Structure 1
Amino acid sequence: MTVSLFDQFLSPSYLGIPLILVALTLPWLLFPAPSPRWLNNRLLTIQNRFINQFVQQLLLPINVGGHKWALILASLMIFLITINMLGLLPYTFTPTTQLSLNMGFAVPLWLATVIIGMRNQPTHALGHLLPEGTPTALIPVLIIIETISLFIRPLALGVRLTANLTAGHLLIQLIATAAFVLLPLMPTVAIFTSVLLFLLTLLEVAVAMIQAYVFILLLSLYLQENV
């Protein structure tokens, strides 16, 4: 049977049971739960500090009406970072390389921001479809273009996250395979390839964190337009 490079992105299963639910549940088990004590341990203190700083920075440009999203945005940020980082470990599976999962995150949240805008300030929300001062002849064309760009937003969110993680994993596998094959033939080249693989792994760690932040940042920008 011919093994494809994309086989690593197939959802794993055991005895016919998909294991993606285990991969999605595992991040929540790795973080300590909040404690009612006055003094927390170091891990919980660092976690709370990170969450507070992230929420303050994220919600700084958003109106007060959008601060209700703090909990869901912070939770999704930590969830995506953890999944992306765990997917870099050997013999693991990265659920965020599945476009269906990323679209499942992107579409409901994007739709919620649109519904909020239509409910609270419909005139302002519809005003994004037609910039002020547009010539009369261009009004139908611009409305169609802006409407298409509005509905492309969730697709762009999901595809961006999927494509970046998939490309990084493919590069890591290709370079690792090259280093393994070149080791008995050209050891010096294999060593340089291994160094390149190490640097690429560090880059992929940064990409895993940055892409999760970009996903949440774009959602916050969409929310800012509608509150």
Structure 2
Amino acid sequence: IGVDQGDEFIGALPEYQADIRAAQVTAVSGKLWAWPAEQADWLAELTAENSLSQEYLASVVDTYYGLWGAFDSEYGMWGMYIAKTRDDLATTDPQGAAIMANQYFHPYLTYNARIDASFVGDFSLTFNKSLSYTNHAQYLKDVTLTGNKDSNVVANQFDNNITGNAGVNTVVFAGQAAQYQITNKNGVVKVEDLQDDRDGMNTLADIEKLQFSDSIIEVSSL
């Protein structure tokens, strides 16, 4: 907050800060962000406190990580940002897309998501339009099931770290078993997809079963 209108940036990444500001200026002038009339007073407030770039960046980040994909609007950020999904960014706000392109932010969420103990079923890390939560969950890499219910995890293209709970847990993969290299060393199970851009390298703990498109493998048999 309070850095937008200084003569120069004095932070750790001044060139990156300058890119963010330039993207924000383009977004405001081009009516890509905060253009609805009801945002006028808010924009004036942000301008006065020199925090336009901060709030613009928050909108870009939220869209990039899928927080608005399930929102009932054509646009993201409560209808005030032109890009609703990551795929939208490149075409609707290319400067916004550029500041997210491996300069500072990861393409995936870096925290380990702990799934609530009440969850039962398949928690999908792969986008499924019938499951609204996967608009965001598709960008998770590491998850931990909690509690004791028999729950499963559907892997995605990232190198997942998946930890099971006290129940019987299955990790679901997209391909046939023969298309993966599977190892079990001292209780650490690794499942590597030999096909690019599908299921990645997965490290599993406290998982009982591996489900493939053609078979189910008991981890205890490895």
Scaled by the length of structure 2, the TM-score of the pair is: 0.27
Instruction: Report 1 or 2 for greater relative contact order, CA contacts < 8 Å, sequence distance ≥ 6.
Output: 1
Q: Larger helix proportion, structure 1 or 2? A: 1
Query: Which TM-score applies when normalising by structure 1?
Result: 0.26
